[in-house]
Amino acid sequence: MENLRQAMRELLRVASVAQYWLTYILGWLDEVTIFEGDAEAFAIDYIADSGLLEEIPENLQRYFDTEAFARDLVLGGDITEVDIMGRSFVVREG
Q: Which pLDDT band holds residue 79 (cuts at 50, 70, 90)?
A: very high
The full set of domain ranges for the chain reads: 1-30, 32-94
* Percent of the chain scoring above 90 in pLDDT: 61
pLDDT higher than 90, residue 1: no
pLDDT of residue 23: 79
Q: How far from each other are the two terminal CA atoms of the chain, in whole angstroms? A: 51
What integer is the mean pLDDT of 13-19? 79
Report the C-alpha dihedral over residues 83, 78, 37, 69, rounded to 10 degrees: -120
d(CA 42, CA 70): 8
- DSSP letter assigned to residue 8: H
Quick one: pLDDT band at residue 21, thresholds 50, 70, 90?
A: confident
Is 7 a residue whose pLDDT tops 90? no
Confidence (pLDDT) at 89 = 93
Among 3.30.70, 1.25.40, 3.40.50, 1.10.10, name the CATH number for the domain at 32-94. 1.10.10
